[in-house]
Amino acid sequence: MTELNVTLDNLPILECLGSETRVRMIEMLREQPMNIKDMARALGISSAIVTKHVQKLEECGIIRTENLAGKRGIQKRCTLAIERMTLLFRNEGDEASSNPDRLTVSIPVGQYTAFDVKPTCGLTSHEKLIGMLDDPRYFADTEHVKADHIWFGSGYVEYRIPNYLLASQRLKTIRISLEICSEAPAYREDWPSDITFSLNGTPVLTWTCPGDFGGRRGLYTPAWWPLSSTQHGLLKTVTVSEDGSYIDGVRMSDVTVTDLGIAPRKEITLRIASPADARHPGGVSLFGRRFGNYDQDIEVMLEYGD
């Protein structure tokens, strides 16, 4: 589920949904992927006008396109890039800061505390590459904390989440929101990857990402970054509650917060992994607030109860 703050920074996306034609296109793509000529025929307008609307929707990360060989040359096929979007009129961080039973923390993608990665791999800040491409040794470079985008073909990165649980409290929910996709050489939008999320050493769920997304620049991807490389990911929300583990509200496993062994005064570890022996060993790409389509790092919310 994509969450969008109603702010001036997100005005281009809000304006994108203010067109009857674009909304009708979204309705059609909800049923199945379509090429531009088919949409133009269904809408009763020219392919040139549909192409302009497609460009707008793609720039806002609502749809994605790919060129496919057809009977009469190359066709541009359009599919929805997100399943649902929630508009946030109140800043959840402000609400959480006034709630003693809720903690929110933002973790930059470069501030991992452990790793074991294999090529293709690399990391970059918003301004420049950090070290050399496809050399895992640079994941230990002191500059790694400045990374806004990291990627690896297999392996894992691990983060520490602060835990202020009191002896009289229990953890009810952990929610993790992040922009993520597969990792292919250059990019490939048909490159599935089985990505496993673990908390405190316990695998909570495995999600299959459909691909590694490129072809158009991400909304926050810097201008110097080559268009031939990965540009953005998908915004995904992992939730572990008292009744199971979910991704974007879809139940994925029976693992609950009580299975994680979370104790007062002990930090929580988050591991994001793409095992080399997975059915779809397609790697991981992570995006921070100055890369990709979403102005955020890895956002974690922990909700406590008595």
Tell how far CA 214 is from the center of its chain.
Answer: 14
Query: Taking a C-beta distance cutoff of 8 angstroms, is the pair 256, 244 a contact?
Result: yes
pLDDT above 50: residue 171: yes
For position 158, which CATH number holds?
Answer: 2.60.120.260
54 and 124: one domain?
Answer: no
Q: What is the pLDDT of residue 36?
A: 92
pTM, rounded to two decimals: 0.73
pLDDT for 68: 82
Residues 118 and 180 in one domain: yes
User: Same domain, yes or no, for 150 and 232?
Assistant: yes
- pLDDT of 210-230, one tens digit each? 999 998 899 899 999 999 999
* 292 touches 220 (CB < 8 A): yes
Nearest Cα to Cα of residue 83 among 26, 42, 34: 26
Q: Is the pLDDT confidence value at 188 over 80?
A: yes
Please tell me whether residues 163 and 60 are part of one structural domain: no
Final residue belonging to a domain, choices 18, 46, 80: 80
CA distance 16 to 51: 14
Which residue has better confidence, 184 or 6?
184
Same domain for 242 and 109 = yes
The percent of residues in the chain predicted with pLDDT above 90, rounded, is 68
Across 162-189, average pLDDT: 91
Residues 32 and 153 in one domain: no
Residue 75 scores a pLDDT above 90: no
Is there a single domain that holds both residue 160 and residue 296?
yes
Instruction: Please state, in angstroms and rounded to a whole number, the distance separating the CA atoms of residues 165 and 275.
Output: 31
Please report whether residue 182 resides in a domain: yes
Burial, 199: exposed, middle or buried (Cβ in 10 Å; 0-12, 13-18, 19+)? buried
For 27, residues 6+ apart whose C-beta sits below 8 A from its C-beta are none
By CB atoms closer than 10 A (0-12, 13-18, 19+), residue 123 is buried
> Is 204 inside a domain boundary?
yes
> Does the pLDDT at position 83 exceed 80?
no
Residue 283 lies in a domain: yes
> Of the candidates 80, 99, 129, which is a domain's last residue?
80
Q: Would residue 85 count as lying in a domain?
A: no
Residues 42 and 160 in one domain: no
Report the CATH number that the domain containing residue 14 is assigned in CATH: 1.10.10.10
Q: Is 273 a member of any domain? A: yes
Residues 151, 219, single domain; the answer is yes
Residue 51 sits in the same domain as residue 181:
no
| Residue 127 sits in the same domain as residue 229 | yes
Position 97 scores a pLDDT of: 47
* pLDDT tens by residue, 225-284: 999 999 999 999 999 999 999 998 899 999 999 999 988 878 999 999 999 999 999 999
What pLDDT score does 90 carry?
Answer: 67
Q: Which residue, 12, 47, 80, sits at the end of a domain? A: 80
CB count in 10 Å sphere of residue 68: 11
Give the model's pLDDT for residue 59.
84
The residue range of the domain holding 38 is 2-80
Mean pLDDT of the chain: 90
The segment with the largest mean pLDDT, out of 22-36, 89-103, 136-150, is 136-150
User: Using one digit for the tens of pLDDT, what is the confidence trace for 113-152?
Assistant: 999 999 999 999 999 999 999 999 999 999 999 999 999 9
CA distances to 11, 33, 36, 192, 199 from 66, rounded to whole Å, are 26, 11, 11, 16, 35
94 domain-assigned:
yes
